[in-house]
Amino acid sequence: MTKILVTGATGTVGRHVVAGLARADVDVRALVRDPGAARLPGGVEAVRGNLGDPDSLAAAVRGVERVYLMWPGLPVDPRVLEVITERARRVVYLSTDVADLADDEEPTWYHQAIERQLRHSGVTWTFLRAIDFAANALRWADQVRRGTVRYPYGQAARSLIHERDIAEVAVRALTAEGADRRRHDGVAHLLTGPAALTHVEQVRIIGEVIGREVRWEEMPAEVAQEEFAAAWGNAEFVAGRLRAWKSFVDTPERVTDTVERLLGRPALTFREWVTDHADAFR
């Protein structure tokens, strides 16, 4: 029986990947920092380790054929991927909406560096290039409870994706056999929600789902730069986010039909995501 290793097994997407593989009666091993606190489905093997420590991965990858890989934003240590690709034959990597690089181009984001190493590793790969997660709306939870969300670029239109859709595509890519593998092997899937909604529309939907009015208050971009840089600790990253959101005011974020093509059903809506997480906003 094929054994599949899931990294980030208790995270936003990974916990759904583990659950989906377990429901499919797949032999699943979960990489976690604390096996005793992981709360995994029955029958799932938990092993201790983390992607910041290559030496902790050897036991986790032993006997594994396929790997679901996410990267927690750490500096990329090539040895980590070497440990994985020396043993596994197929890797499904949770990436983001990045451009393919020519061989002489330098990566500008860790996702590009990881994608490049996987391309040259000899393993069969699938990249899940997910547009921003709907789960990032949880950053508004405290403000929603107070009745007003203050944020920049209210008219920025985003095609946010439900984490369950990402996970279900990952499970399909990890378990595909025969002709179905051609839909995934060596393919970078751009995954989005079914529609682009502005920040203002997202906040309105949250209010409708939880049954209370939630106001939008526009935050000036220069104020957001200062406040977010202090909170997030990375002024350059904040500036990049603000530039992207500004661009989505005039040009909404892309919407693809990839989820529907691969799963045979429409992608889950933002309203469905809010319904699934309504308690977080109450």
| pLDDT score of 56 | 86
DSSP tag of 264: S
Beta-sheet pairing, 45-48 with 66-69: unpaired
Q: Which residue has the higher pLDDT, 17 or 110?
A: 17
pLDDT for 76 equals 81
Which among 64, 61, 23, 75 has a CA at the least distance from the CA of 44? Answer: 23
The tokens for 251 are 């040009």
pTM: 0.94
- Give residue 6's pLDDT: 97
Q: What pLDDT does 99 receive?
A: 76
Helices marked H in the chain — which ranges? 14-23, 58-61, 78-85, 110-119, 141-146, 163-175, 199-210, 221-232, 235-250, 258-263, 270-276
CATH class of the domain defined by 134-160+194-254+266-281: alpha beta
Q: Which CATH number fits domain 3-130: 3.40.50.300, 3.40.50.720, 3.40.30.10, 3.30.70.20?
A: 3.40.50.720
Question: What pLDDT is stored for residue 108 in this prediction?
Answer: 74
% pLDDT > 70, the chain = 99
Residue count (the chain): 282
Per domain, the residue ranges of the chain are 3-130, 134-160+194-254+266-281
User: Same topology for domains 3-130 and 134-160+194-254+266-281, yes or no?
Assistant: yes
d(C-alpha 125, C-alpha 115), whole Å:
9
